[in-house]
Amino acid sequence: MAIVGLVHPGSMGSAVGACAAATPGVAAVYWASAGRSAASIERASADGLRDAGTLEELAQQCDVIISVCPPDKALATAADVMAAGFRGLYVDANAIAPATARDMAEQCLAAGARGFVDGGITGGPPRSPSSGTKLFLSGDAALVAEVVACYEGSFLSAVPVARAEVGAASAVKACFAAWTKGQTALLQNIVSLSVAEGVQPDLFELWQDSMGDDHVERALNGIKGSAGKAWRWVGEMEELSKSFVDAVRPAYSFLATLGRHSH
């Protein structure tokens, strides 16, 4: 049975850890409370995560460590875990560009990690059977199977990507986010432009005529729903921009530019 470590239990990460803790293939899920907030401590405790205390203790106790952190902190988090002496299987489940995942894999393996699996999460925190949350995984098939076993029968569906190479799972996440979050960002900018130019009523009427009465409502609901949390997407949008710059030429493709100006 695997002993799993988690860095760091935010809203998504804690739920991901709770799913692993509830499966028969996992003996325990640990995290490190050193330097973390009272809210994180309370959340991790409520989800049944065990406290290893420090990152060094976490690195020594765990066979597998899963990273669920802000995308702009993903590389530094992996470096910290390796510096703490971890030599097991490292799983990055953050919204990073495929090239970032490949760079991270090289760094982890060079530092002595037993293996690296690339991951990407779609959906919200997996708190119920109806959540529909998926953890896409890519890398060595045997290592991916180890991670899948940590989530057998849980609220989180672990899905190996057909293309096994590291970076493929991150690519699935990037493409999905380009449509979901990218669409919302684009709509927000379009509506802002229409307001600035004083043509919002004309735009909304045109949308209704060309795309149906519910298009305006869906557009506005998407913008309103993201308003209070869009600040959390900055790092992800920057990684999304990198994904398009790396793979789609020219570098100034529309989606690449959108990512750079998502602040």
3-state SS track over the chain: CEEEEEECCCHHHHHHHHHHHCCCCEEEEEECCCCCCHHHHHHHHHCCCEECCCHHHHHHHCCEEEECCCHHHHHHHHHHHHHCCCCCEEEECCCCCHHHHHHHHHHHHHCCCCEEEEEEEECCCCCCCCCCCEEEEECCHHHHHHHHHCCCCCCCEEEECCCCCCCHHHHHHHHHHHHHHHHHHHHHHHHHHHHHCCCHHHHHHHHHHHHCCHHHHHHHHHHHHHHCCHHHHHHHHHHHHHHHHHHCCCCCCHHHHHHHCCC
- Given 141, 164, 187, the domain boundary residue is 164
| Residues 108 and 177 grouped into a single domain | no
Please report, to the nearest 10 degrees, the dihedral formed by the alpha carbons of residues 29, 34, 105, 250 taken in order: 120
- Given 111, 136, 164, the domain boundary residue is 164
253 vs 249 pLDDT, higher one? 249
Closest residue by Cα to residue 136 from 100, 92, 104: 92
For residue 150, the enclosing domain spans 2-164
| Residues 6 and 71 grouped into a single domain | yes
| Residues 158 and 88 grouped into a single domain | yes
The pLDDT, as a whole number, for residue 217 is 80
User: What's the sign of the alpha-carbon dihedral 64, 68, 71, 75?
Assistant: negative
Q: How sure is the predictor about 27, in pLDDT bands with cuts at 50, 70 and 90? A: very high
| Residues 121 and 227 grouped into a single domain | no
| Residues 48 and 156 grouped into a single domain | yes
| Residues 157 and 109 grouped into a single domain | yes
The helix-helix angle for 234-247 and 168-196 (nearest 10°) equals 110
| Structural domains counted in the chain | 2
Q: How sure is the predictor about 132, in pLDDT bands with cuts at 50, 70 and 90? A: very high
pLDDT at residue 68 above 90?
yes
User: What's the sign of the alpha-carbon dihedral 5, 34, 133, 187?
Assistant: negative
Q: What is the mean pLDDT of residues 41-68?
A: 97
User: Between β-strands 157-160 and 134-138, what pairing exists: parallel, antiparallel or unpaired?
Assistant: parallel
| Residues 90 and 46 grouped into a single domain | yes
| Residues 205 and 158 grouped into a single domain | no
Question: Over the stretch 80-113, which tens digit does the pLDDT of each residue have?
Answer: 999 999 999 999 999 999 999 999 999 999 999 9
- Given 99, 133, 164, the domain boundary residue is 164
The pLDDT, as a whole number, for residue 253 is 53
Across 65-90, b (16+ Cβ under 10 Å) vs e yields bbbbbbbeebbebbeebbebebebbb
- CATH number of residue 249's parent domain: 1.10.1040.10
- CATH number of residue 72's parent domain: 3.40.50.720
139 vs 189 pLDDT, higher one? 139
177 vs 262 pLDDT, higher one? 177
Q: How sure is the predictor about 257, in pLDDT bands with cuts at 50, 70 and 90? A: low
pLDDT at residue 124 above 60?
yes
pTM: 0.87
pLDDT at residue 12 above 60?
yes
Closest residue by Cα to residue 124 from 19, 30, 195, 200: 19
User: What's the sign of the alpha-carbon dihedral 160, 167, 85, 37?
Assistant: negative
The pLDDT, as a whole number, for residue 263 is 47
What token pair was written down for 258? 């959108």
Question: Over the stretch 160-206, which tens digit does the pLDDT of each residue have?
Answer: 999 999 999 999 999 998 888 888 888 888 889 999 999 999 998 99
Using only C-alpha atoms, what is the Rg of the chain? 20
